[in-house]
């Protein structure tokens, strides 16, 4: 083979590798439907890198290996948008949306449009950064921010590092020049992981995912952007030259997807404003289960010809509107910082706030996480602070509005003594948390330990609520969990608002709680870092309380989900004489559980799998379903993640089912779940 033929053959190999990698990227990022394992993808990328390294003349800017390249910039250059990037008018309620529909109808009376409902394209409004991508001959040549709508900043080098943005379009039929507009954002999971790493390194975390996306795109060094978990969703068409596009917005988005660009899978086309309102309500319910933040819904007239006829006003189109959700961030005044002591002695600073309506509820308290966070924020009594609440997430203080700080304020320092019992507080080297060392002499820890013991996932003692626990401790009737089983009817009758029937019902519930399971019992004791799933793993591995209590570190580390930290906490629990005394007292009171037969590894067919059970099952309770799975070696988690094997979904399954659908996690209905159990019993 002569030199030219050899070069042509190598070029063909490189081209075929790039085509295959681009296809796999399209399946993974645009379709959320990966067709090959990561190992296969990594192998192809390594083969391409090797070929390009040995043949640098074959490297082109659109190669998948060239996502990060170029020197760090001194500053961003300006880019003039060929078509202005306009903002949207807002609708804040159904009346605003109805007015939007009416205005469109009034303006379109000059057309042959009948009285039929107008067709709208509905899309979630991602809370990120608007950008423009310019493709020429299918290759990405420029990426820019919205800026003032007419001029933005050139962020091409940074955008090239984002895996969900193709460096060259796949397929065919795209125009010679194609401008695609969309939103670059940071998914929630990536945001939380990034902030966790930042806190561990003593660095400043981002306030919210939008702030994180903006900060990542404005890095002058693209290698920094490349390390950030960014994604992009495309939502509209900009400038087009040398090609034809479809007649509707929804068809344009489908073209984008076929060319390798990511679009939002929640998008729909509906007819009429009533259907728009229905879509808004449905997405409001799904919002907390989505993998990314949205702050509203965008409604666009779907027909592009009608869009042209409707035109623009000022800096917004007449044919589109954003229906906003209630704000998830608001400002308020911090009245004071209180200290809460948990059942493990952890002391948590809590912000007491001037009540403010945020995220659909009135908030008067917000977490400050720990004293490192208090110091980082430098939050002080009297400060105006920014509060964030997203879905069911506990409200948190995310920043201080320094230009509103009062003239005279004092910095807040971590306590040296427990605010409840006055015992010394300590902080372990690998933790950010301060802990009271008072143990069972600390009233707060007593109360919280008893509340945990009585909770639904532990002993599930009906009628023993938080206020009653506090009464029992304050009256000196109990000082640890074993004292619950020595309570007498006459003692209970002395308590405020305790009648004869309530007292008898509580004593009956306590009696019934004596019959439990080993995993529930382990969980109920509140051993640090031992949650439901880990308690189940410990129970199934050791089979008995005696075997667990005699286990050493090496034996504990053999248990799935048990690492060095959990093993240390378990050993510490058994080294405390008062813990052993409480367990013996519980057993003497009649606490018991069925014997567990410890199975060999080959008798645990679901070992290594993780399931989530949600909704209401007809044939068994969720606890029974969890026990069945754990008996087969599976881990049962409380939340859905990419590591989840499958979700068992009963009736009225909520946000966990939604998240599973978003992540493409397999979903088992009750019939399929029963089939799984029968298959492996």
159: which 2 tokens? 């955008």
Q: Is 600 a catalytic residue?
A: no
Which SS3 state, helix, strand or coil, does residue 562 take?
A: coil
d(CA 291, CA 658): 10
Which has the closest alpha carbon to 30: 254, 186, 289, 184?
A: 254
Residue 298 is inside which H or E element, if any?
strand 294-301
Q: Which residues contact 412 (CB under 8 A, 6 or more apart)?
A: 337, 349, 374, 379, 380, 381
403 HSE (CA, 13 A, CB side): 0
Q: Which residue has the tokens 């001194």?
A: 74
CB 41 within 8 A of CB 30: no
d(CA 406, CA 15): 64
d(CA 149, CA 84): 5
Which has the closest alpha carbon to 329: 290, 357, 297?
A: 357
Torsion of CA 599, 603, 607, 613, to 10 degrees: -90
Q: What is residue 646's DSSP assignment?
A: E
CB 178 within 8 A of CB 135: yes
CB 421 within 8 A of CB 443: yes
CB 379 within 8 A of CB 360: no
Q: How many helices (H) and strands (E) does the chain have?
A: 24, 24
513: which 2 tokens? 């709680």
d(CA 286, CA 247): 30
Which has the closest alpha carbon to 362: 340, 333, 395?
A: 395
Number of Cβ within a 10 Å radius of residue 406 = 11
Sign of the four-CA dihedral 600, 605, 610, 616:
negative
Q: Which of 53, 125, 381, 457 is catalytic?
A: 125
- Long-range contacts of 68-76, Cβ-Cβ distance < 8 Å, separation of 24 or more: 68/160, 68/161, 68/222, 68/223, 68/226, 69/157, 69/160, 69/222, 70/157, 70/222, 72/220, 72/221, 72/222, 72/223, 73/157, 73/220, 73/221, 74/220, 75/220, 76/153, 76/154, 76/155, 76/218, 76/220
Q: Which residue has the tokens 């945001």?
A: 191
- Long-range contacts of 637-646, Cβ-Cβ distance < 8 Å, separation of 24 or more: 637/533, 637/610, 637/611, 637/612, 638/531, 638/532, 638/533, 638/612, 639/612, 640/612, 640/665, 641/189, 642/189, 643/610, 644/610, 644/611, 644/612, 645/609, 645/610, 645/611, 646/609, 646/611, 646/612
Which SS3 state, helix, strand or coil, does residue 80 take?
A: strand
362: which 2 tokens? 């009135």
Phi, psi of 265, rounded to the nearest 5 degrees: -75, -15
| β partners of residue 426 | 435
**Which residues are tagged catalytic?**
125
């Amino acid at each position: 083979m002569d030199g030219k033929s050899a070069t042509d053959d190598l070029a063909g190999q490189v081209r075929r590798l790039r085509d295959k990698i681009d296809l796999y990227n399209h399946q993974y990022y645009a379709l959320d439907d990966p067709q090959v394992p990561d190992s296969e993808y990594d192998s192809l990328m390594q083969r391409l890198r090797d070929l390009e390294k040995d043949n640098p003349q074959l490297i082109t800017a659109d190669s998948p290996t060239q996502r990060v390249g170029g020197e760090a910039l001194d500053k961003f250059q300006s880019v003039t948008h060929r078509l202005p990037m306009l903002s949207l008018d807002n609708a804040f309620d159904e009346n605003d949306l109805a007015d939007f529909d009416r205005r469109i109808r009034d303006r379109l009376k000059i057309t042959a449009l009948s009285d039929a409902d107008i067709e709208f394209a509905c899309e979630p409004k991602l809370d990120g950064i608007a950008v423009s991508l310019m493709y020429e001959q299918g290759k990405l040549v420029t990426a820019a921010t919205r800026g003032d709508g007419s001029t933005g900043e050139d962020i091409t080098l940074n955008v090239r590092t984002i895996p969900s943005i193709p460096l060259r379009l796949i397929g065919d039929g795209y125009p010679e020049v194609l401008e695609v507009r969309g939103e670059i954002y940071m998914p929630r999971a990536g945001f939380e992981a990034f902030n966790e790493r930042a806190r561990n390194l003593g660095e400043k975390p981002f306030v919210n995912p939008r702030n994180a996306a903006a900060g990542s795109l404005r890095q002058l060094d693209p290698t920094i952007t490349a390390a950030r978990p960014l994604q992009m969703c495309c939502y509209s068409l900009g400038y087009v030259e040398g090609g034809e596009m479809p007649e509707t917005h929804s068809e344009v988005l489908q073209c984008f997807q076929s060319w390798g660009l990511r679009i939002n899978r929640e998008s729909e086309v509906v007819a009429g404003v009533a259907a728009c309102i229905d879509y808004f309500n449905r997405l409001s319910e799904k919002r907390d289960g989505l993998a990314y933040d949205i702050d509203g819904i965008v409604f666009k007239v779907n027909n592009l010809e009608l869009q042209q006829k409707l035109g623009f006003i000022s800096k917004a189109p007449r044919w589109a509107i954003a229906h906003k959700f209630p704000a998830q961030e608001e400002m308020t005044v911090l009245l004071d910082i209180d200290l809460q002591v948990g059942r493990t002695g952890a002391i948590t600073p809590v912000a007491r706030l001037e009540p403010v309506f945020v995220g659909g509820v009135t908030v008067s308290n917000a977490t400050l996480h720990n004293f490192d966070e208090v110091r980082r924020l430098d939050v002080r009594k009297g400060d105006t602070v920014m509060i964030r609440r997203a879905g069911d997430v506990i409200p948190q203080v995310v920043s201080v509005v320094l230009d509103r700080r009062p003239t005279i304020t004092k910095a807040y320092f971590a306590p040296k003594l427990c605010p409840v019992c006055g015992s010394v507080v300590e902080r372990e080297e690998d933790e950010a948390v301060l802990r009271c060392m008072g143990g069972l002499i600390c009233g707060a820890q007593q109360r919280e330990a008893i509340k945990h013991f009585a909770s639904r996932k532990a002993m599930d003692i009906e009628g023993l609520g938080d206020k009653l626990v506090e009464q029992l401790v304050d009256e000196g009737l109990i000082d640890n969990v074993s004292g619950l089983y020595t309570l007498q009817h006459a003692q209970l009758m002395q308590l405020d608002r305790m009648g004869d029937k309530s007292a008898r019902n509580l004593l009956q519930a306590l009696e019934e709680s004596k019959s439990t399971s080993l995993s529930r019992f382990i969980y109920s004791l509140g051993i640090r870092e031992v949650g439901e799933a880990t308690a189940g793993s410990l129970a199934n591995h050791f089979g008995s309380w005696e075997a667990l209590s005699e286990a050493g570190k090496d034996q504990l580390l053999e248990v799935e989900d048990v690492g060095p930290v959990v093993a240390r906490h378990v050993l510490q629990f058994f080294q405390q004489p008062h813990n052993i005394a409480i367990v013996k007292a519980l057993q003497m009171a009649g606490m018991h559980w069925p014997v567990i037969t410890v199975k060999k590894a080959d008798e645990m067919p679901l070992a290594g799998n993780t399931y989530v059970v949600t909704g209401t099952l007809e044939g068994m309770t969720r606890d029974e379903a969890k026990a069945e799975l754990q008996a087969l070696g599976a881990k049962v988690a409380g939340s859905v993640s990419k590591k989840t094997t499958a979700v068992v979904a009963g009736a009225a399954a909520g946000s966990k089912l939604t998240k599973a659908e978003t992540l493409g996690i397999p979903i088992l209905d009750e019939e399929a779940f029963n089939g799984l159990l029968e298959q492996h019993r």
